Chain A
């Protein structure tokens, strides 16, 4: 099983380090894409990846290397601080380019127009990091919304998905429990 972490943090942080050491302790090789270190620009909505250069971005900004790694993944961990109940801008910069993972053809499922995937079925694991009291009303709304976005992204490519939240103020034992829970039943 190949796991890729799409790391949407802007700066070094304790949880990111903990996650790397957690995977090491499980003897799992993980590709960690620190998006903040990549020279990536925004999707320009030129539409070329639809039918002119199907599945290929015409921008030469490092997206090719990202995609070559991403298409090999079985599981993509969408690691992000929860900002306004969604992804960080840094993570979304890469996800905006994920039109490349879908075909420009559609089908209808449960009343939604969905894309067919180009590289087969994968799994999105949303890993939202909260830096506020999880009991606060806005935090609950934020987690609910984050979950819905991960679900929509997965559904749109016919991927499996799960979402877990980490409180960055919590003790590392709690982080450990959360990570164990995420990977329960996943053969890593």
Chain B
């Protein structure tokens, strides 16, 4: 029986990345994969768990997944810290295991996630792992930590994409392009303009309600 562990790369333990990890775990279990755990990488940073605990879990599985948000155009610091430490102390334990990632961003634009997937591919090559691919979801802000089963058609579509992804993992084959196609929300670039207008208006309104200047330069000191 295939065994899998999923790491949550978000500092938020009830956010969209965790919901994605849970959905993947549900489909994996339905397809006969034993999901060992969903581990919050932030607990490693906060010293609630140790790298040895993570390595012991990794040692027991064939497949490692990482669900995470896009932070400043790349993977978040805790995920990088985790990858560096694992490669430093236990690279030999990674050999031959499958690695995949799911990344989500608040924006509809998913193109910037490619650099994270490429870095994970290089990590996999260096660690003699099998890179299964990365799945990108734009529009995480709309989900904002809601379970897929409470998201109607949108949730069903995401869930279906993850089911397809798990099918590929079970067959030991990299994610097929159609998985990304199902997951992707097709928002034409032309709609970015009204979206921008709406988001900017909303930000200004919220700042006004909070009684703060949105454009202030807090850290600028004059001598």
Contact = CB atoms under 8 A, between A and B. Distances in A.
Interface of A: 41-45, 50-56, 64, 67-68, 70-71, 83-89, 92-93, 95-96, 98-100, 103-108, 111-113, 118-119, 138, 141-142, 145, 148-149, 152-153, 156
Given A93-B77, A145-B122, A119 B217 contact: yes
Interface of B: 10-12, 15, 42, 45, 69, 71-78, 80-81, 83-84, 107-109, 111-112, 114-116, 118-120, 122-123, 125-126, 189, 192-193, 195-196, 199-200, 203-204, 206-207, 210, 212-221
B84 A51 contact: no
A42 B76 contact: yes
15 contacts: A43-B76, A45-B10, A45-B15, A45-B69, A55-B218, A71-B219, A85-B118, A89-B84, A92-B72, A96-B76, A104-B214, A118-B215, A138-B125, A148-B118, A156-B73
A92 B80 contact: yes
B80 to A, nearest CB: 4
A166 B213 CA distance: 43
A83 B214 CA distance: 36
Nearest to B41: A42
Contact of A152 (B73, B193, B217, B219): B73
Contacts of A68: 219, 221
Contacts of B195: 113
Nearest to A68: B219
Nearest to B112: A152
A153 B217 CA distance: 20
B221 to A, nearest CB: 6
Contacts of B210: 51-52
B137 to A, nearest CB: 15
A152 B115 contact: yes
- Max chain A C-beta neighbours (<10 A), residue from B45, B75, B122, B218: B218
B214 A51 contact: yes
A119 B220 contact: yes
A92 B75 CA distance: 9
A44 B46 CA distance: 11
A130 to B, nearest CB: 12
B199 A141 contact: no
Contacts of B199: 105-106
Contacts of B80: 83, 86-89, 92
Contacts of A149: 73-74, 115
B78 A107 contact: no
A92 B74 contact: yes
B72 A96 contact: yes
A67 B219 contact: yes
A113 B213 CA distance: 22
Contacts of B84: 83, 88-89
A118 B216 CA distance: 8
Contact of A84 (B71, B83, B207, B217): B83
